[in-house]
Structure formats: structure tokens, C-alpha cells
């Protein structure tokens, strides 16, 4: 374990992931997105993001709240949150965007089958023109894919785009997180992409202190970063 910590987890090791490739076969891509959806479900990713959005919706009711899930992947988090909003009869609309056309297709299929009105569209975070008209911009399991300086710029752009709030859910670079990713991926998915990318993601992730520093550098004054189960963290920032 000491060797593992010193070689892969003591400092951030950003390595290209299989999911980031542009030539993934459709069946493999769909299988990986399903696997990640199961991981998110077990880890209650939607709940950690839902709680601050729920509080804000109650404060601003009956005014509607518009939420955008950036780098939404297969749309499982956005759809689960939309279903929760519908069940609670809250005026919250949730859309999603992703660089991958396959992810957008899978996400829209998921929304249509679930009967929610989420709309998914293509978007690359390196674009200068971020979507407008949203109250909350959130993202999950995405920031660790980016080089550090790109992550800072992305957080800065995210803070300028929404009217009210930014939420970032991501992995924690830790020994326990590495073990969760190493063995949990095999338990929850048959996808070799999930099996490979999980540990790679943890090695490329930030620590709580590093994410706080990224937020400070991006100008997110007053942002908080808290640890959440299992070996994840949530950055929350509200516009003054």
C-alpha cells in the first residue's frame, strides 16, 4: 500500500482514460455509461447534488429553477433528479450537456423512457460561449479529467454562467477511493472501460485541499468543499 500511495496517489497522476477516446465502439460506450450509471446510483451522486438545489428551490418558490448538468454522460444523475423534482412537485427543470454525441443520445433516450422533460445537447467546456439562462450549473465525476490549469479556467467559466449556484461532485484521491474504484467497478459493471478508468480516475483526481485551492484560484470566494460518502467531495458556491 505504501508503494501504491507513493507512486500513484501522493501526487496527482493525470492519464488518458479509455472513456476519453474518440473511437470507442457504440456497444462498448453504452455498456460503460450503464456501468457508470450503476456506480452513481450506489454512490447516491444525485442526492449530494440534489440537497443544495432542493434548499434553493424552497427558498425561491414558487419561481422555477433551471439546472444544467455539464458533462452529463449518460444522463442518469440529471434524470434521477428530475424524477425527484416531479415527485415532490417542485418547479425544477434539469437539462444536460456533454461533448460526446453518444452520451447525449443515451441521455436523451433515458429521459424519454423515464418520462421527464430533460433536454440534452452537445457542449464542450473549452468553448468560450457557455449556455445562458440557468440558475444552477453542476457537474459530477468530470473535473478530474482536466489538466489543473484547465480545471481552474473551467471553474471560473462555470461561476460566470449561472445566476445562482455552482456544484461540483468529484472523486477524492485517496487510498480508500482507489480501493473502491478498483474492486467496486468489477462488482457493479462488466465494462472493461469502467474497470480500467475507475482507478485511473482516482489517481488523476484532486484532494479536498487541492479542490479548495482550485476554487480560490478560480475566484469562487466563499466556496465550501465537504467530503461525502464514498470517498467523494462536493464543492458548493453561491453567487453573492
Query: Does residue 81 form part of some domain?
Result: yes
In this prediction, residue 4 has a pLDDT band, given cuts at 50, 70 and 90, of very low
pLDDT tens sequence across 131-181: 999 999 999 999 999 999 999 999 999 999 999 999 999 999 998 988 888
Query: Does residue 26 form part of some domain?
Result: no
Query: Does residue 191 form part of some domain?
Result: no
- The reported pLDDT for the residue numbered 104 is 97
Core vs surface per residue 137-168: b (16+ CB within 10 A) or e: bbbbbbbbbbeeeebbbbbbbbbebbebbbbb
Cα four-point dihedral sign 217, 15, 139, 181: negative
Query: Does residue 28 form part of some domain?
Result: no
Number of domains in the chain: 1
Query: Does residue 61 form part of some domain?
Result: yes
Query: Does residue 190 form part of some domain?
Result: no
Contacts of 175 (CB under 8 A, 6+ apart): 1, 4, 5, 9
Which H or E element spans position 19?
A: none
pLDDT tens sequence across 67-100: 999 999 999 999 999 999 999 999 999 999 999 9
Query: Does residue 5 form part of some domain?
Result: no
Domain that holds residue 134: 47-172+207-238
- The reported pLDDT for the residue numbered 8 is 65
In this prediction, residue 194 has a pLDDT band, given cuts at 50, 70 and 90, of confident
The domain that holds 119 is classified in CATH as 3.40.50.150
Query: Does residue 120 form part of some domain?
Result: yes
What is the rounded distance in angstroms from the CA atom of residue 178 to the CA atom of residue 195?
12
Amino acid at each position: 500500500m505504501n508503494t501504491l500511495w507513493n507512486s500513484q496517489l501522493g501526487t496527482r497522476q493525470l492519464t488518458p482514460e479509455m472513456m476519453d477516446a474518440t473511437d470507442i465502439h457504440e456497444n462498448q460506450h453504452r455498456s460503460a455509461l450503464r456501468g457508470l450509471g450503476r456506480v452513481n446510483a450506489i454512490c447516491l451522486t444525485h442526492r449530494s447534488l440534489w440537497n443544495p438545489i432542493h434548499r434553493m428551490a424552497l427558498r425561491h418558490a414558487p419561481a422555477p429553477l433551471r439546472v444544467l448538468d455539464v458533462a452529463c454522460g449518460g444522463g442518469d444523475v440529471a434524470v434521477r433528479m428530475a424524477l425527484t423534482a416531479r415527485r415532490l412537485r417542485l418547479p425544477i427543470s434539469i437539462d444536460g450537456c456533454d461533448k460526446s454525441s453518444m452520451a447525449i443520445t443515451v441521455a436523451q433516450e433515458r429521459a424519454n423512457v423515464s418520462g421527464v422533460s430533460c433536454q440534452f445537447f452537445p457542449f464542450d467546456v473549452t468553448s468560450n460561449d457557455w449556455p445562458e439562462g440557468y440558475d444552477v450549473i453542476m457537474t459530477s465525476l468530470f473535473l478530474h479529467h482536466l489538466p489543473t490549469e484547465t480545471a481552474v479556467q473551467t471553474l471560473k467559466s462555470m461561476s460566470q454562467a449561472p445566476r445562482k449556484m455552482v456544484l461540483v461532485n468529484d472523486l477524492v484521491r485517496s487510498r480508500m477511493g482507489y480501493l473502491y474504484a478498483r474492486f467496486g467497478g468489477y462488482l457493479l459493471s462488466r465494462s472493461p472501460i469502467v474497470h480500467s478508468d475507475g482507478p485511473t480516475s482516482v489517481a488523476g483526481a484532486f484532494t479536498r485541499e487541492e479542490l479548495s485551492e482550485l476554487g480560490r484560484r478560480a475566484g469562487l470566494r466563499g466556496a465550501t468543499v465537504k467530503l461525502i460518502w464514498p470517498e467523494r467531495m462536493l464543492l458548493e458556491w453561491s453567487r453573492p
